Amino acid sequence: MITRLKPVILFLVLLSIFVFFSMQLEKQRESLLSASFIEHTLPSKLIGLTSLEFKGLASDFLLFKFMTFIGGKVAQKDVIDEAQWESLVTTLDTITDLDPYFWDAYLFAEVFLAWDARKFEDANRLLLKGTQYIPDNYRVFYYLGFNYFYFLKDNENGRKYLMEAARRPGCSSYVANLAARLSVYTFKHRDGIEFLKVMLGDTKDRATRDQFQMRIKTLEIMEYLEQKISEFHELYRTYPKTLDDLVRSGLISRVPADPYGGEFIIMQNGRVYTTSNMLFKKDNLKK
């Protein structure tokens, strides 16, 4: 009797072991994915070898992976740490290595690396790759030029790439005019607003469009406040010390709120900036 039961007992033991390890493996998988699955992108050389002729599909999957991670962070209003940003840079590098003609990857390099992470050098490096593979697309040159003059305060390179953009079909005459005046350029929020409106037209992703619209709204508030500061200066021959001075003078009814949860402040040169830097921060979310 015992001899007959041995195979059954052995089967049940092996089945129990299999079920146990399967459950543990599934838990580890879920833990890994929920923690940050963007941090496990393999180098492009390795993915390129294993994906064979399906490099396009691999790059599509990685972009989906990229946007899923970003979308989750945006939805939760969570902060992306430095290690995660580095992984995102690696992911975009891999995508553009696998498919260097993939426009969306260059667009997201500008959207998230330049505007969110302030990783201007990484964004520009990826955009330069784009100029080699999609040289007729004015946007890669436009983004490069904008990053140089707007973020890096490099008017020479800004002029250079904006002029390259202006030479390509479909580019607005605004870009040529901007390039022409960079030699005597003084920063204006209007340029940032017009740039973001161009980018808004380049993407259909809802979360990305929401970010653009919020940035445009913030820059328009800053532009409006600076116009009122100029009016104050014309009236009183001095700049207001705080935005409350504009309220007391009757130029504005109230100090507008920063959509990102920061505070608008006046600098010594009469310019308006925001403490949020147009980014959601944990401290701002607690307010």
Query: Helix/strand/coil (H, E, C) string of the chain?
Result: CHHHHHHHHHHHHHHHHHHHHHHHHHHHHHHHHHHHHHHHCCCHHHHHHHHCCCHHHHHHHHHHHHHHHHHHHHHHCCCCCHHHHHHHHHHHHHHHHHCCCCHHHHHHHHHHHHCCCCCHHHHHHHHHHHHHHCCCCHHHHHHHHHHHHHHCCCHHHHHHHHHHHHCCCCCCHHHHHHHHCHHHCCCCHHHHHHHHHHHHHHCCCHHHHHHHHHHHHHHHHHHHHHHHHHHHHHHHCCCCCCCHHHHHCCCCCCCCCCCCCCCEEECCCCCEEECCCCCCCHHHHCC
Q: How many domains does the chain have?
A: 2
* Range ranked top by mean pLDDT from 2-11, 189-198, 270-279: 270-279
Q: What is the pLDDT of residues 6-24, one digit of tens each?
A: 666 666 666 677 666 667 6
Q: What is the pLDDT of residue 286?
A: 46
Residues 257-275 have pLDDT tens digits of 999 889 999 988 788 888 8
Among candidate residues 73, 104, 134, the one where a domain is terminated: 134
Check residues 211 and 117 and name the one with the higher pLDDT. 117
Residue 93 belongs to a domain: yes
Q: Does the pLDDT value for residue 277 go beyond 90? A: no
Question: Residue 275 falls within a domain, yes or no?
Answer: yes
pLDDT given for residue 112 in this prediction: 93
Domain contains 106: yes
Establish if 35 belongs to a structural domain: no
pTM of the model: 0.63
156 versus 136: the higher-pLDDT residue is 136
Domain assignment of residue 111, given as a range: 42-134
Question: Is 252 a domain residue?
Answer: yes
Band (33; pLDDT cuts 50, 70, 90): very low
% of the chain surpassing 90 pLDDT = 40
pLDDT digits (tens, 9 = 90+) for 221-251: 999 999 999 999 999 999 999 999 999 999 9
Domain membership flag for residue 94: yes
**How confident is the model at residue 185, as a pLDDT?**
46
How does pLDDT run across 197-210, given as a tens digit for each residue?
877 887 788 887 88
Mean local confidence (pLDDT), 181-208: 70
State which of 84, 114, 134 marks the end of a domain.
134
Does 60 reside within a domain? yes
Classify residue 230: in a domain, yes or no: yes
Average pLDDT, the chain: 81
Q: Which residue among 134, 167, 196 closes a domain?
A: 134
